[in-house]
Amino acid sequence: MTNIQTKIRKVAIIGAGFVGTSYAYALLNQAIVNELVLIDLDEAKADGEARDLNHGLPFGEPMKVKTGGYEECHNADLVVITAGASQKPGETRLDLVAKNAKIFKGIVEQVMAADFQGIFLVATNPVDILTHVTKEVSGLPKNRVFGSGTSLDSARLQYLLSERLEVDSRDIHAYIIGEHGDSSLPVWSQARVGGVSLQSYTGITDIANDPDMIDRFEGARDAAYHIIDRKGATYYGIALGLLRITKAIFQNENAVLPLSVELDGEYGQQGIYIGVPAILNRQGIREVLELELSETEQQQFAQSAAIIQQMNETARKAIQ
Ligand code: NAD
């Protein structure tokens, strides 16, 4: 007998739609996890997706891909939730909050009934509210429950600034924080190119009011609307964002990523999930990083938090 360690690193994806399967495909191209389960209300769809992914295995990284029920979450290290209803014509955002909160209650209860011991990562919208629902229903500690938050929004801003500055997007540190939605804000006061402030690098004295910078932020904030108008949904960007988060967990990276995390006094907020940079490792969220915000940014952040608070209330009523 050889003494080879065969550690299972297992991810369960709940919701085998555009986002869930794009993330699954991204995982197939990386040797980070070796077991992947797709769970969906539409069992035939999940089965078809798993079959298709499996046929790529001879070209990809060794991995088991299958479908299953919630009992599969028993030994999963990470459960990623990308399931939910999307907004229907005539339906308000608040209707969607209530509808998805109910769906999440059902999902999270079933995951917990399987004696789940791992980490929850939520991507379904409205992500800050549904991450909060996940925390409330699961009763897990806050380090083990978080959402993709403003990771995609920040990546979009990095990309749009990288185009203008002709600097690799990975070397542009520019966060969008707050709600993953219309009330998000760019933290211009702390934006850096390498270690140089964006203001020094560009020579623009008032970045927050510079028309081109405003355009770029709005382009990042509203990107989903533009993409949905053209192709019906967005999924590649978020799939790679989820992959990045997964790597940070399994490789115990202590990486800094803007995620939807529960605040406990940081940024003057208590008990809400909202997008801010946090340090992420194998245990989940290690700590929240508190950016020094300008006065305007503080006000915008407080407004964004108030909007989330209101939606949390709608979700709470829907599931009580
Ligand atoms: P989709 O409609 O393609 O997939 C949703 C899947 O969820 C479907 O396969 C459906 O059968 C399944 N589902 C519905 N109810 C379920 C339940 N109770 N149990 C199990 N499965 C269930 O949608 P999509 O394009 O993949 O988007 C999924 C979510 O991701 C949406 O909420 C979308 O807004 C969100 N999203 C988030 C970000 C982000 O940055 N966080 C980016 C893009 C999309």
| C-beta of residue 290 within 8 angstroms of C-beta of residue 258 | no
What is the predicted pLDDT for the residue at 6? 65
- C-alpha to C-alpha distances, 59 to 28, 48, 255, nearest whole angstrom: 9, 19, 29
What is the predicted pLDDT for the residue at 3? 52
H/E stretch holding 296 reads: helix 295-319
Decide whether 10-147 matches 151-319 in CATH topology.
no
Pocket test for ligand 1, best of 86, 87, 154, 240 (most atoms within 8 A of CB): 86
Pocket test for ligand 1, best of 14, 25, 40 (most atoms within 8 A of CB): 40
Q: In what order do the strands lie in the sheet with 192-193?
A: 172-173, 192-193, 196-197
CA distance 183 to 181: 6
pLDDT, tens digit, 9 for 90 and up, residues 142-160: 999 999 999 999 999 999 9
CA distance 8 to 78: 12
Expressed in angstroms and rounded, the spacing between residue 82 Cα and the centre of ligand 1 is 5
User: What is the average pLDDT across 183-187?
Assistant: 97
Average pLDDT over all residues of the chain? 94
Expressed in angstroms and rounded, the spacing between residue 49 Cα and the centre of ligand 1 is 15
180 is catalytic: yes
Question: What CATH code would you report for 151-319?
Answer: 3.90.110.10
Catalytic residue among 74, 132, 180, 226: 180
Expressed in angstroms and rounded, the spacing between residue 46 Cα and the centre of ligand 1 is 13
- Say yes or no: CB of residue 42 within 6 Å of ligand 1: yes
pLDDT, tens digit, 9 for 90 and up, residues 285-304: 999 999 999 999 999 999 99
pLDDT, tens digit, 9 for 90 and up, residues 190-247: 999 999 999 999 999 999 999 999 999 999 999 988 888 899 889 999 999 999 999 9
Taking 70 as the threshold, does the pLDDT of residue 2 lie above it?
A: no
Taking 50 as the threshold, does the pLDDT of residue 1 lie above it?
A: no
Residue 203 CB-density burial (10 A; 0-12 exposed, 13-18 middle, 19+ buried): exposed
What is the predicted pLDDT for the residue at 285? 98
Q: What are φ and ψ of residue 11, in 5° steps?
A: -120, 135
Question: What CATH code would you report for 10-147?
Answer: 3.40.50.720
Residue 255: what residue type? Answer: A
Nearest to 124 by CA among 144, 108, 140: 108
Expressed in angstroms and rounded, the spacing between residue 81 Cα and the centre of ligand 1 is 8
According to DSSP, residue 222 is labeled T
For the chain, the domains span 10-147, 151-319
- Say yes or no: CB of residue 18 within 6 Å of ligand 1: yes
What is the predicted pLDDT for the residue at 205? 94
* pLDDT range class, residue 98, cuts 50, 70, 90: very high
Strand-pair category, 78-81 with 119-122: parallel
Measured from the Cβ of residue 121, the count of other Cβ atoms closer than 10 Å reads 28
